[in-house]
Structure 1
């Protein structure tokens, strides 16, 4: 890609929209994952007895194990949401930007 095409893309208003939307999603997802993960670590550090609570009488499953598996499932869900967003909205903005760059920056 030529330097002129790159400049036209970076100057286009859709580029600013794409960057802002991707940054917003990235920040929200990063803070969510970090908050949940470090919340779990803090729970283990300061209230380990909560993690040892058994789920059901005679059950081998504890709240800690259930929380950890739930976090993994939630992280997969958040990843799927981001991929869906990237494959729909972000890719559409990328295509529009490339089309605009090919048309001379309009």
Structure 2
């Protein structure tokens, strides 16, 4: 039965890796947890489990990860921070009310 669960985990991981990462999750923070890093941490622990039992350190880390998931899944919308579009991060909004961005210098330094 345990081997069947490991096989199922392996299959789920393969299916997960075959799917594209949801573009709306890049840069998304929920309760100060970056969704890309949360996915990477989860995948790392799954790989560890497939290699064998987690040691004490890995077990504590997995328990912390589960607590993070509980908080993220229960988070109200007010705790969700959506990423800014890349140009807004640079201070470029495209509105006439904002000053134009500083032009980039060419290779001659002018």
More helix per residue:
1
Q: Greater relative contact order (Cα 8 A, min sep 6): structure 1 or 2?
A: 1
TM-score w.r.t. structure 2 length?
Answer: 0.32
More strand per residue:
2
Larger radius of gyration: 1
TM-score w.r.t. structure 1 length?
Answer: 0.33
